[in-house]
Structure 1
Amino acid sequence: MLLVIILVGCGGGGGGGSTPTPDPTPNPTPSNPLYVYGGSWGGSGTGDGKFYQPYGIAIDVNGKIYIVDQNNYRIQQFNEFSTMLLKWGTQGSGYHQFNRPYGIAVDSSDQWNIRVYIADTMNHRIQKYSVSVSYGATPILETMWGSFGNGDGEFDCPIDIALDSLGSVYVTDSNNNRIQKFDSDGNFLEKWGTKGSGDGQFEKPNWIATDSLGNVYITEGAPNNRVQKFSYLGSFVKKWGGSGSEDGQFSRPEDITVDSSNNICC
């Protein structure tokens, strides 16, 4: 978990007159936020608070942290002090089971019952849970949707999930090289993308995020190594990146997030 500190400096102005007084040296205002290391927790294992290849992470409005513990086939919930509060999931394809889950997203519009969406990748489906803020409450499976395939509402390795302010659900359908959009109950709304390297095309899209204006951002690994931006309707807006180690270039970019000021981190 990162602590973000924004430093803002103010410069002084000069005065008039026959004997000018030098301006005080202004404090520089950094153009970027300063990220300060805030600690860590975990370690390899199967016990509470341990992980075996953790992937997706999300934070709800109450400050609870949800982590996809992929190869332990479970979700773990922590407070801001890294104390494990809740876990659920086992290996399998039934209810409350997962097969190599990756991405996770939370809907905090009801702060007393957080909705948690999980990309159950190798089961080729999305699971949606209601998680009460009551200590120790068992997560309730509200719905799940999807199966293996390339039709509307079907998936071939869904990797990540993002939500917009209207409750729409966006899924990176990685091996189908497309994005699918659903309502909060899993009803199919639309899709976009085909295989390729052109604008609006994908080579195994991975991680996804939305901003406060409803724009959608998707990362792609090799060979495209880029980020693409779309409107909420799936219209291509822009792209950036490319293979390399220079500023703004990527080598297999993974997760992506957008902060409250619509800054993008990936």
Structure 2
Amino acid sequence: MIMTITKVKAKNPYVVDCSKKPTAVKTPACREEETKGAAGDDSKIPSDFGQGKGKQTGRQEELDEGSYDSEADEGYDDSEAVEEVKLSAKRDWKESYVQQLPKWVKKLMGHIVLDINEEWSVQILGLQKPGTKQGLFNNPNGLRWHHGQLLVCDTNNNRIQILAKHYSYRSVDEIRFDSMTNAFQPWAVTVYRKEYYISDIGNNQIIICDKCHEILQTIAVTPDISVHSITVIAGFAVVTDHKGNKVLKYNKKGNLVAKYQGQGSENTPIKYPHSVAPASNGSILVSDANNHNIKVLDSDLNYVESFCAEGTGKGQVRYPQGIDVDARGNIYICDKLNNRIVKLGSNGNFLRNLFEGDLEYPTNIAVNPAGDEIAVSVFGNIARPVNQIWVFFKK
């Protein structure tokens, strides 16, 4: 079922309700963008965009022409229509709303906020097609929250974009290295004691740099290892080798000090370890994608236990990928093939499913300490890959 934008007088006049977050639209940077404009007639944004009731994006021809008849909606009460949109559009807009919007609205994609239920809203960053400008992505992967900023590994654009929440997630800085042997391709990033630890799949290495983006050290791994996800435990870098089916632990000198391949009482070799994250008790969480579970290792990479099993029920997953924890130790898992986020307690007990039916193949995730902002990179599908970050936040 695909949602369309149609002209109606009584109900459902609004599909994308931008006026719900006028402050997000009217940031200083956005005002400057409106003032400057962009090339082409479709960049003429209405001067009253996002101002007051009845002055929001609405009927199709008004959006396409970049004009707005303020008298047509004078005194219009949109509360009933907005409530109906919340209920009817929950799953409809996710596949095609970008293509249906006029070009001038697409230019504001980083500012569009959509309600998905009574508890959560989502802000869409980027477009479905890859882009090279700031705020656009080409194969975004690892995510990390750091002091209210969102770090995005923009892999095929050879950079890490740093997005500022108080600027409506606009890109305010980036980390890139142009002097590498091969192109810098960051897949994952984490922060430990003001230092960035980055897995660079383009050069098959771990990069450690300071807050000024000066490289402090690189850890080259052997050719039979393919670095993937990364976290830091007590100063040791822990990475997944997704092709070699291993989890590896390096000290800061670059020495391999421990590895895990599946030895242990569970007697199940790890298969395609996708992501790694630190648990609240100091242990290490690994998403074992092809075994459809989450493995728990101690700090020396010894097996402790496993969570989840293959399936679609509560506490079950299919091809789990990204994983993260909040300040309370709750565990969030990208349940890729079930198109949802699974939330577990710190001991692995099932709590709830999030955004079920609203995501399309979630692959990487970052959760802020309070657990009320969740950033997810979505894969889409092979025929129509998506280059977006969806930031869910509680109302």
Fold equivalence (TM over 0.5)? yes
Does residue 230 (structure 1) correspond to residue 230 (structure 2)? The answer is no
Whether contact under 8 Å (2:237, 2:251) holds in the other structure is yes
User: Which residue does the alignment assign to 1:182?
Assistant: 297
Question: Higher helix proportion, which one?
Answer: 2
Q: CA deviation at 1:251?
A: 2.0
Three-state SS of the structure 2 residue aligned to 1:255 is strand
Change in Cα spacing, 1:150 to 1:38, as seen in structure 2 (3 Å) is: farther
Match of 2:172 among 38, 58, 61: 38
Match of 1:163 among 272, 275, 278: 278
Q: CA deviation at 1:106?
A: 1.1
User: Which residue does the alignment assign to 1:199?
Assistant: 314
Q: CA deviation at 1:46?
A: 4.1
Q: How many residues align?
A: 215
2 CA distance for matches of 1:158 and 1:195? 15
Q: CA deviation at 1:151?
A: 4.5
Whether contact under 8 Å (2:280, 2:346) holds in the other structure is no
Whether contact under 8 Å (2:271, 2:291) holds in the other structure is yes
Q: CA deviation at 1:158?
A: 0.3
Whether contact under 8 Å (1:68, 1:74) holds in the other structure is yes
Q: What does the per-residue CA deviation read over 1:233-266, in whole Å, with 9 as the maximum and x for residues that have no partner?
A: 22111011234xxxxx222222212223333322
Match of 2:195 among 56, 64, 67: 64
2 CA distance for matches of 1:150 and 1:159? 21
Q: What does the per-residue CA deviation read over 1:147-190, in whole Å, with 9 as the maximum and x for residues that have no partner?
A: 59995462000011111232111100001100111111112111
User: Which residue does the alignment assign to 2:220?
Assistant: 89
Three-state SS of the structure 1 residue aligned to 2:347 is coil
User: Which residue does the alignment assign to 2:206?
Assistant: 75
Whether contact under 8 Å (2:264, 2:303) holds in the other structure is no
Three-state SS of the structure 2 residue aligned to 1:175 is helix
- Which TM-score applies when normalising by structure 1? 0.72
Q: What does the per-residue CA deviation read over 1:76-124, in whole Å, with 9 as the maximum and x for residues that have no partner?
A: 112112222211124433xxxx22x22111124xxxxx12110111111
What amino acid sits opposite 1:251 in the alignment? Answer: E
- Which TM-score applies when normalising by structure 2? 0.50
Q: What does the per-residue CA deviation read over 1:204-249, in whole Å, with 9 as the maximum and x for residues that have no partner?
A: 100111122221110122x311100111222111011234xxxxx2
2 CA distance for matches of 1:185 and 1:90? 19
Unaligned stretches of 5+ residues in structure 2: 1-143, 150-164, 377-395
What amino acid sits opposite 1:170 in the alignment? Answer: L
Whether contact under 8 Å (1:152, 1:188) holds in the other structure is no
2 CA distance for matches of 1:163 and 1:41? 24
User: Which residue does the alignment assign to 2:232?
Assistant: 106
Change in Cα spacing, 1:130 to 1:91, as seen in structure 2 (3 Å) is: closer
Whether contact under 8 Å (2:329, 2:346) holds in the other structure is yes
Whether contact under 8 Å (1:148, 1:156) holds in the other structure is no
Q: Which has the higher contact order (CA 8 A, sep 6+)?
A: 2
What amino acid sits opposite 2:261 in the alignment? Answer: G
1 CA distance for matches of 2:275 and 2:214? 25
Match of 2:240 among 95, 119, 126: 119
